[in-house]
Structure 1
Amino acid sequence: MINWKVRFKNPQFIIQLALSIIVPILAYAGLTAQDLTSWPILFEVVGGAFSNPYVLFLVAVSVYNSVVDNTTRGVSDSAQVMSYDKPKGSGL
């Protein structure tokens, strides 16, 4: 099991998760963030990504890599992390 409540309280996790979705899409489309100059362009790129199984696979692998804690066995968080109500060491 993964402690989603604590992970979403950590801004670094949110940024990492967002980038793990956005970067593969932009890379496949051959774009950089500077190329997304309007909302219609962004929606077109994202819509194209959702209709392409290969891009969805790349996004899934990227999200998996950002969610799994490599310091524990399997895909779940440790018992210690599951007991947290906020990220360790945070002032939240």
Structure 2
Amino acid sequence: MINWKVRFRNPVFLWQMALAFFTPILAYFGFTAQDLTTWGSVFILLGDAIQNPYVMLTIAASMWNAINDPTTSGIKDSERAKRYTEPQ
């Protein structure tokens, strides 16, 4: 079990997830953040990414790496982390 409540209160985790989502998209299409100067270009890029299975798989792998805690077995938080009510 993952302590989602605490993770979503942690700004570092939120940035990890945002980067895990956007970095594979930018890398695959050869863009940088400076190339996305209008909302229209952002939505077009997201639409192209969603239609591409390879990009979606790299996003999933990237997010898996951000979520998974390699210090525990399986997909779960440690017993100590499950008891947190605030990020430590």
Normalising to structure 2: TM-score of the pair? 0.97
Partner of 1:70: 70
Q: What is the CA RMSD across the aligned residues, in angstroms? A: 0.6
Measured in 1, the distance between the counterparts of 2:41 and 2:19 equals 18
**What is the count of residue pairs matched by the alignment?**
88
Which residue identity lines up with residue 4 of structure 1 in the other structure? W
Partner of 1:29: 29
Residue identity (%) = 51
Measured in 2, the distance between the counterparts of 1:49 and 1:73 equals 32
Partner of 1:14: 14
Normalising to structure 1: TM-score of the pair? 0.93
Partner of 1:81: 81
Q: How far apart are residue 20 of structure 1 and its match? A: 0.2
Which residue identity lines up with residue 61 of structure 2 in the other structure? V
Deviates more, 1:70-79 or 1:8-17: 70-79
Q: How far apart are residue 9 of structure 1 and its match? A: 0.7
- The alignment status of 1:4 with 2:9, answered yes or no, reads no
Gaps of 5+ in 1: none
Q: How far apart are residue 38 of structure 1 and its match? A: 0.3
Measured in 2, the distance between the counterparts of 1:33 and 1:74 equals 34
Which residue identity lines up with residue 62 of structure 2 in the other structure? S
Partner of 2:53: 53
Question: Runs of at least 4 residues of structure 1 off by over 2 A?
Answer: none
Which residue identity lines up with residue 73 of structure 1 in the other structure? S
User: Cα deviations across residues 12-56 of structure 1 (Å, max 9, x unaligned)?
Assistant: 000010000000001111100000000000000001000110000
